[in-house]
Amino acid sequence: MTNLLEVKNLEVSFKTFGGEVQAVRNVSFHVDKGEIVAIVGESGSGKSVTVQTIMGLIPTPPGKVKNGEILFQNKDLLKLSKREMQKIKGSKISMVFQDPMTSLNPTMRIGKQIEEGLIVHQKLSKTEARRRAVEMIRLVGIPNAEERYNQYPHEFSGGMRQRAMIAIALSCNPELLIADEPTTALDVTIQAQVLDLMKDLKEKTNTAIILITHDLGVVAETAERVIVMYAGMMVESGRVNELFENPRHPYTWGLMESIPDTNAAHKSRLVPIEGSPPDLFSPPKGCPFAPRCKYAMEICLSEMPPAFEIGEGHHSRCWLNDPRAPKVENEVAAGREKQ
């Protein structure tokens, strides 16, 4: 496999009245060709800001990329001119936003919206673009493509709009698709359709996908690798099978314990992570999760843990993984054994 995207030591912050919000802190990860990588984590942990930075969508000011590189096919996207970036966005990287209603143009026919990019970036003729647009509508599983081509967004249901967005994003055959909570507003049957479609595309066109979601079920069923973010940092990452089986960060344990067990015959109280995330104006010196962590040791408060390598491609930023740390039983796995 080859690296398609490599994000290195990315730091992004925003100047606000209250001070400087350190939204993304030293984030490094890569995405291979044709791979689906999920990003999960705390609300406000920097997931959207990370991918918006890749797309060159951070408003500056107030935002600022303070450090880092974003290598896409070995070219640093942060060093490109607006024009060059625009070109890549229309042809090699595209993005699906959480809310399809605000990102589609309500006064423009769906077909035309798909054609736009094809004509501007791919330099297709009008007839070719039209043929391709209809084909894309069909490909994303919307029946009566010819008819739908002429309709406006408000004539589409929520799930169809989301698929229309995906059609636009995919019409240029991108090498990387970024999907920020593409299914949060959809019911589970439509969600399953949309995810199937993305997996299908990956199979057929070898498109790599970065998928942001809150739903660990979606991660387990869709992604190959997963990145867990907390307070602007990557706290754990690894292959999905490995990370679900052997999670090694107390924040990841907390996430997994928070989901209700749908098979349980009796209701038990949910187990959230107590407390709230740190202030990103002045994040703590040590581990950002330490104040909420029931295993926190002295060192956790004073020193930032490094990314310990647990196994191949599996990293955890937690001092418990230091050989000198006491052994802590992973309660998630222990709970699963009991069942």
Ligand X SMILES: Nc1ncnc2c1ncn2[C@@H]1O[C@H](COP(=O)(O)OP(=O)(O)OP(=O)(O)O)[C@@H](O)[C@H]1O
Binding site for Mg ion (CB under 5 A): 48
Cα–Cα separations (whole angstroms), residue 60 to 14, 47, 80: 9, 18, 15
How many residues lie near ligand X (CB under 6 A)? 16
Q: How far apart are CA 70 and CA 176, in angstroms?
A: 13
Min. distance of Cβ 289 from ligand X in angstroms?
A: 15
Contact 38, 219 (CB under 8 A): yes
| Only segment of 40-48, 102-110, 303-311, 312-320 that touches ligand X (CB under 6 A) | 40-48
Q: How far apart are CA 284 and CA 303, in angstroms?
A: 9
Q: How far apart are CA 324 and CA 306, in angstroms?
A: 14
Would you count residue 259 as binding another protein (CB under 8 A)?
yes
**Cβ-based nearer residue to another protein, 191 or 207:** 191
Would you count residue 46 as binding ligand X (CB under 6 A)?
yes
Q: How far apart are CA 292 and CA 277, in angstroms?
A: 8
User: Which among Mg ion, ligand X, another protein, none contacts residue 62 (Cβ within 5 to 8 A by kind)?
Assistant: ligand X
User: Which among ligand X, Mg ion, another protein, none contacts residue 330 (Cβ within 5 to 8 A by kind)?
Assistant: none
| Only segment of 4-12, 24-32, 216-224, 310-318 that touches another protein (CB under 8 A) | 216-224
Supply the DSSP string of 51-100, one letter for each residue. HHHHTT---TTTEEEEEEEEEETTEEGGGS-HHHHHHHHHHTEEEE-S-H
Q: How far apart are CA 81 and CA 272, in angstroms?
A: 45
- Residue choice 4, 23, 54, 293 for contact with ligand X (CB under 6 A): 23
Tokens 């699906």 correspond to what residue? 96
Would you count residue 226 as binding ligand X (CB under 6 A)?
no
Q: How far apart are CA 258 and CA 252, in angstroms?
A: 10
Min. distance of Cβ 185 from another protein in angstroms?
A: 7
**Cβ-based nearer residue to another protein, 17 or 327:** 17
- Residue choice 104, 166, 280, 318 for contact with ligand X (CB under 6 A): 280
Cα–Cα separations (whole angstroms), residue 215 to 212, 228, 244, 331: 9, 12, 13, 20
**Cβ-based nearer residue to another protein, 45 or 94:** 45
Would you count residue 262 as binding another protein (CB under 8 A)?
yes
b/e map 31-51, b = 16+ CB within 10 Å: bbbbbbbbbbbbebbbbbbbb
- Residue choice 2, 17, 43, 338 for contact with ligand X (CB under 6 A): 43
Q: Is 235 helix (H, G, I), strand (E, B) or coil?
A: strand
Q: Give me the residues that bind another protein (CB under 8 A), please.
A: 18, 40-45, 142-143, 155, 157-160, 184-193, 195, 214-222, 240-241, 244-245, 254-256, 258-260, 262, 265, 267, 269-273, 276-277
Q: Give me the residues that bind ligand X (CB under 6 A), please.
A: 14, 16, 21, 23, 43-49, 59, 62-63, 158, 280
